[in-house]
């Protein structure tokens, strides 16, 4: 029922690591009940519920550029525009099973889907 | 952005109760797949309810 296990995305800004390398292309998998429940026990989420987003994203993002590990520290280092973008990708992926947007042509009113992650462009 | 936790617990309990799937397996389903099985079990219930009310 799901189209594929992981979905590509392209961060609007990107994560710059300690060596100055920019990482923008990534992949996100669909989340599970365990992904949502496990972070609730984390003391960082208990003291600041907004931290749930950081933990959740670090669990479901499987690749980001050439980074070997994705962890909450990486998510903390993302520009807020990227966090907002990833929040939107997460919501669409888990609500619809894909990250495409359903839009309508303003002239002919025909509906179609557009890809929001132009992976490969820079 | 997260799934409402009460609803999540309800769905996990519902599937575990009716299908006897192990907790870890139910917890590892994607939201879409979990919702799919919840809907399937509910549909079975509806059919059984209709059949039993017709039999009365």
**pLDDT attached to residue A105:** 80
CB distance A121 to A25 below 8 Å: no
Q: What is the pLDDT of residue A122?
A: 44
To the nearest whole Å, the CA of B6 is away from the closest chain A CA by 11
Q: Which residues of chain A have pLDDT under 50?
A: 1-3, 118-122
A53 vs B contacts (CB less than 8 Å): 1
> What pLDDT shows up at residue A24?
96
Whether the CB-CB separation of B30 and B6 falls below 8 Å is answered with no
Cα A5 vs. chain centroid, distance in angstroms?
14
Q: Which of B1, B29, B36 sits opposite A32 (nearest CB)?
A: B29
Q: Which residue of A has its CA nearest to B24?
A: A34
Give me the percent of chain B exceeding a pLDDT of 90. 55
* Mean of pLDDT values over B17-27: 92
DSSP string across A12-35: EEEEE-TT--EEEEEEEEPPBHHH
CA distance B23 to chain A (A): 10
Neighbouring C-beta atoms of residue A36, cutoff 10 Å: 21
CA-nearest residue of chain B to A93? Answer: B32
Quote the Cα angle for A111-A113-A115, to 5°: 155
- For the cut 80, the answer to whether the pLDDT of residue B49 exceeds it is yes
Pick among A32, A39, A41, A94 to test the B interface (most B CBs inside 10 A): A32
pLDDT at A69: 93
Provide ipTM, 2 decimals: 0.71
pTM: 0.76
């Amino acid at each position: 029922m799901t189209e594929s296990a992981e979905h590509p995305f392209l961060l609007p800004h990107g994560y710059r690591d300690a060596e100055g390398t920019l990482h923008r292309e990534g992949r996100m998998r669909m989340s599970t009940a365990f992904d949502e429940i496990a972070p609730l026990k984390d003391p960082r989420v208990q003291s600041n519920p907004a931290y749930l987003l950081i933990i959740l994203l670090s669990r479901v993002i499987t690749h980001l550029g050439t980074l070997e590990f994705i962890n909450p520290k990486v998510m903390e280092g993302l520009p807020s525009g990227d966090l907002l973008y990833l929040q939107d990708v997460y919501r669409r992926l888990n609500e619809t099973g894909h990250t495409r947007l359903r839009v309508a042509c303003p002239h002919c009113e025909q509906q179609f889907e557009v890809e929001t992650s132009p992976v490969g462009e820079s | 952005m997260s799934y409402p936790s009460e609803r999540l617990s309800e769905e996990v309990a519902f599937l575990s109760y009716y299908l006897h799937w192990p907790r870890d397996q139910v917890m590892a389903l994607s939201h879409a797949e979990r919702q799919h099985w919840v809907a399937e079990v509910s549909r079975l219930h509806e059919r059984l309810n209709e059949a039993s009310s017709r039999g009365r």
